[in-house]
């Protein structure tokens, strides 16, 4: 399985919107920001990747399984479009490889004895903090 998944351009939908923030008159006239919409369920991605994407707890993925990315970092619409595509690829390729399953291990004998020695040393220090009795 390739590590780099390819998303066809036909599955990505772009909408030009006006960018927020500073920019003077230009920000009120030109729609330079881009909304990217990508339907996970209707895509041609492998089923395992779709399942991992839908299981992600990401604010960019709606309950219907649509990824919405707003790109407004650059002043040109084409640069924002490329930025949105790059962020979508980063999101998809982040879940392309299945997570490595952790193998259960046991602590070594040395680490167990070091832990117990540390606990007994701390216990000795704390026991010496009590009241001093006059004998």
Q: What is the pLDDT of residues 9-23, one digit of tens each?
A: 788 888 888 877 766
Per domain, the residue ranges of the chain are 9-94
Exposure string (b/e) for 36-70, b if CB count within 10 Å is 16 or more?
bbbebeebebeeebbebbeeeeeeebeeeeebebb
pLDDT score of 30 more than 70: yes
- Residue 70: enclosing H or E segment and its boundaries? strand 66-71
When pLDDT is averaged across residues 108-122 and rounded to a whole number, the result is 97
Domain 9-94's class?
alpha beta
- Sign (positive/negative) of CA torsion 98, 41, 85, 53? negative
Give pTM, 2 decimals.
0.68
DSSP bridge partners of 68? 37
d(CA 88, CA 36): 9
Of the pLDDT bands very low, low, confident and very high (cuts 50, 70, 90), residue 1 is very low
d(CA 20, CA 49): 33
């Amino acid at each position: 399985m390739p590590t780099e998944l390819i998303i066809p351009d036909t599955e990505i939908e772009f909408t030009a919107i006006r960018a927020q923030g500073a920019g003077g008159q230009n920000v009120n006239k030109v729609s330079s920001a881009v909304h990217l919409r990508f339907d996970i369920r209707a895509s041609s991605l492998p089923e395992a990747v779709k399942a991992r994407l839908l299981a992600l707890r990401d604010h960019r993925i709606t309950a219907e399984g649509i990824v919405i990315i707003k790109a407004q970092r650059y002043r040109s619409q084409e640069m924002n479009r490329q930025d949105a595509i790059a962020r979508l690829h980063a999101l998809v390729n982040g879940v392309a490889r299945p997570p490595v399953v952790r193998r259960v291990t046991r602590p070594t004998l040395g680490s167990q004895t070091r832990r117990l020695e540390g606990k007994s040393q701390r216990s000795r220090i704390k026991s010496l903090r009590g009241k001093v009795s006059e004998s």
